[in-house]
Each structure stands twice: as C-alpha cells, then as structure tokens.
Amino acid sequence: MRGRWKAVAAVVLGGMLAVSGCGGNDEGGGDASQVEVFSWWTGPGEADGLQAMKADFERKNPGTKFVNAAIAGGSGTQAQAVLASRLQNRKPPDSFQGHAGAELLDYIKAGQIEPLDSFYDDNNLRAAYPQQLLQQITYQGKIYSVPVNIHRSNVLWYNPRILKDAGLSGPPKTVAEFIAALKAVKDKTGKVPLSLGAQWTADHLLENVLLGDLGTDAYNALWKPGADWSTPAVTRALTDFAEILKYTTVEAASTDWQGAAKAVVDGKAAFNIMGDWAYGYFVNPAPNGLGKKLDTDFKYAPAPGTDGTYMWLSDSFTLPRGAPHRAGAIAWLKEASSKEGQDLFNPKKGSIPARKDADRSLYKGYLEYAFNEWTRPDIKLAGSFWHGVAANKKWHTDIDTAVGLFLQSKDVGKLQAALVNAAKNSGQ
C-alpha cells in the first residue's frame, strides 16, 4: 500500500505536505436543524449512491432535514461554477463534495474549508483510512475532508457482441490496438466505435490516452512542477488522441456521460472510456439504473495501455467556513465517514470505500475486481487530472479550454502548445 501511494502523494501535494498536527475548531455547537449537501450527483447511477447514504443519515438524525443541493452535470461541470460563486459570496452550503488532491488544496489555500482534525480524533478516523489517502487531504499538518470512496477513471467498457461482429477476439490492450479495433468496428459493423458525451468526456479520454501511451511514471511526471509537455512522446499521444476522436460521434457531444455509456449497453456503440461510476448506472435496478447484466450486455477492461495502473480519484466531503448549519454538517460528515455509510453508498455508486474496513462481500462483479486491483501489491497509481487529483482548478480549466478548441480545429500542434502553456501557468 505504502509504495503504491508514495508517487501520487509526491505528485499532488509535493513539498507542501507536513507532519500531522493538532486539530482545528471543527466540533461543537451550531445549528443541526438541517444540512445542505452540495454535489453533482443528480443523474442515474450517481444519485442512487447519494440516496442510499441520505436514507441512512435520515434514520440516524431524525431532527435534521437533509437538503439535497446537487446540481446536474457530470464531473461537476455546472456545479463547480455555482459552488465557486457561493463560496466567494460567503454563502456556502453546509458540506460540499470536493476531490481529494490538488482540487481540495485550492479550497484550503483560499481559506474556504475548515480543518477536521478533532473530528477525526473524536471519531477514530485516523486509523480507518489509508495513511497515504490522508496525505492527499492534508495541508500544513491539518486534515481537511472526509473521503467517501475511491473511483477508477481508466476503465474501458465494451459491448461483447459488437466486438465479435467486428472480428475482435477481446478488448484492445494497447492504444495502437485500440485504434485498429475502432477501425474494425467502423468497417465491419456500422456501429459507433467509441461513444463520447459532453465535452468533459473528451478531457477524460485525454487523460486515459496520455496514461496509455506515456506509461504511469511519465504520466505522473506531467503534473510535477516544471514538467515538459513539449516532448515527442506527448506529441505521439496527442496524435493518437486525434485519431481516436475520428471514431466518435459528433452528435453525442450534447449528452452527458450517461448517454455515451448507455450507447454501449444498448448495442449502439462498441466502446466507452469512463470512470467506474458507469458500473452503478449499468447494473442498478430500473428506473434509476439500467438493470443490465455484466458479461452479457457489457464487459470491462483497463483502458488500453493502462493495465496494472489504477488511475484513481476520491470523492470527499468538506466543512466550509461559515457553514450555516454546522452541527448538521458534522452529522453528515459522520455519516460519510462511517463504515455503514460507505458500504451503503459505494455498491450503488460504482466505487470502493475509502475506509480500510469495508465489508468486501457487498462488492460484486466489477467491484470485486476493482477491490482486487486496488489491493494488488504491484498495482501502480496515477492521479486523475480531470477529477481533481493531479491538477488544480486553473490547470484543469485551461486544459478543458484547449481541448474545446481542439475539438473544433483538430490541430495537434496548437493543442500541444496550449497544454505546454497550461502547465507553465498552472501555479501548481
């Protein structure tokens, strides 16, 4: 576990991590009449996980009204803008979802969230989480959030029937094989080779192609201060990215990740690269989930070229400074940090718990595989840049802008130049 996390901790917080320190003023008092919880889990799949934890919270806190302030838009594309303005205007929700890693560090540095050290002590949490995950949410010796899960971003979902029709014996193992497979699907089946949704799903694809082409160490190195994005290896990866995009649907650009993922299980598209929240959506029962069957309706594999690496991210909940219902927020953080809460949330969400003591028998199908991968002694870790681990918010936005322009221009040289600049100007 230790070696696995080390590289990522270095990439994300660099020298800013410090030894653990004393607690903040995170307990005691405040209004418990309600709790406004902010996330972007409104859509099928994601909302189920939140609902499961909310129901448990309401059972345990009958006097506290749960106000669901979720704002639609996969990966928080809309929610994060609304959140930023609420925080700026000092109108914070009582708790909001922030990704562990560089994204959380932005909120900490802006003084927008409170340290939770005494909350951790009071609830015996320091031993409940992997040490190295705690490092991702620690700044200058203080712990700032409560992780609820670990998601994997580098998953290739595919339709086995379409692969068979295309004459493919299995999922592609390298980026080059992936491109050949996309061509085979196009030439032989008439189906969509790779489904894509809203623009952010192209950013998500980009992180997967970078990881698949560059390898884990070179990918992780991209997020270190002074990293060189102008290398021929990056040019090759971006050229592959451009090639892969030729096999996606233009009209899918208006749908979110659910539309793109659904195309695979509905037999309309051969492949989709998406985080494992797609699994919850696929298998959860209707009407929220699609009630589909693993192995029959869909299968999974590591994204091409990324076997042996867990590109991870972690959803975590915070205590904003000036939370109007502070005691309600603390009660919510208790729920989100509890073994029971995490074991209710994660099987529905398509993630594995952040805590170390989960009931593994609850995690079936893909999630059993995810657990095994996560605990493999030789697994390597890479931090997802799109989902907050590797890049701060400025960098994340600048890359998104570059990708948006690229989707129009298809000019690899311009994309690389913009990415070089984004790295230089990130301030990370």
Contacting residues toward ligand GAL, per CB under 6 A: 40-41, 46, 74-76, 99, 151, 257, 275, 277, 313, 315, 387
* CA–CA distance, 426 with 3 (Å, rounded to integer): 27
Q: With H, G, I as helix, E, B as strand and everything else as coil, classify residue 114.
A: coil
Nearer to ligand GAL, 99 or 348 (CB): 99
Q: DSSP class of residue 113?
A: B
Q: How far is the CB of 46 from ligand GAL (least distance, A)?
A: 5
As measured in angstroms, the least distance from the Cβ of 344 to ligand GAL is 15
Helix then strand then coil, in percent of the chain rounded to 5, is 50, 15, 40
Going by their DSSP bridges, the two strands 155-158 and 299-302 should be labelled as: antiparallel
Task: Report the distance separating Cα 211 and Cα 384, nearest Å.
Answer: 10
Paired strand residues for 97: 317
What minimum distance in Å lies between the beta carbon of 249 and ligand GAL? 19
Shortest distance (Å) from residue 173 CB to ligand GAL = 26
Measured from the CB of residue 378, what is the shortest distance to ligand GAL in angstroms? 26
Please name the residue that has the structure tokens 């997020």: 223
Residues 6+ apart with CB under 8 A from 77: 40, 198, 200
Closest distance to ligand GAL from the beta carbon of 120 (Å): 22
In sequence order, which ranges of 142-198 are alpha helices (DSSP H)?
160-165, 175-189
Identity of residue 137:
I
Least Å distance, CB 257 to ligand GAL, is 6
Rank residues 67 and 70 by Cβ distance to ligand GAL and give the closer one.
Answer: 70
Decide whether 77 or 249 has the Cβ nearer to ligand GAL.
77
In the bound state with ligand GAL, the residue whose beta carbon lies nearer, of 77 and 118, is 77
Q: What residue type is assigned to position 143 of the chain?
A: I
3-state SS, one letter per residue, for 278-291: HHHHHHCCCCCCCC
Q: How far is CA 78 from CA 6, 59, 71, 89, 313, in A?
A: 32, 30, 7, 17, 19
Task: Please tell me what DSSP assigns to residue 25.
Answer: S
Residue with tokens 């594995």, as numbered in its chain: 352
Q: Which is nearer to ligand GAL, 182 or 389 (CB)?
A: 389
Strands 309-313 and 380-383: parallel
364 phi, psi to nearest 5 deg: -115, 165
Between 168 and 279, name the residue whose CB sits nearer to ligand GAL: 279
CB of 258 to ligand GAL, least distance (A): 9
In angstroms, what is the minimal distance from the CB of 281 to ligand GAL? Answer: 10
Q: Give the integer Cα–Cα distance in Å for 206 and 196.
A: 12
Query: Of 99 and 326, which has the nearer Cβ to ligand GAL?
Result: 99
Residues 130/1, Cβ–Cβ less than 8 Å: yes
Residues 165, 189 contacting (CB under 8 angstroms): yes
At its nearest, how many Å lie between ligand GAL and the CB of residue 335? 17
Specify the residue, 240 or 343, whose C-beta has the smaller distance to ligand GAL. Answer: 343
Centroid of chain to Cα 237:
22
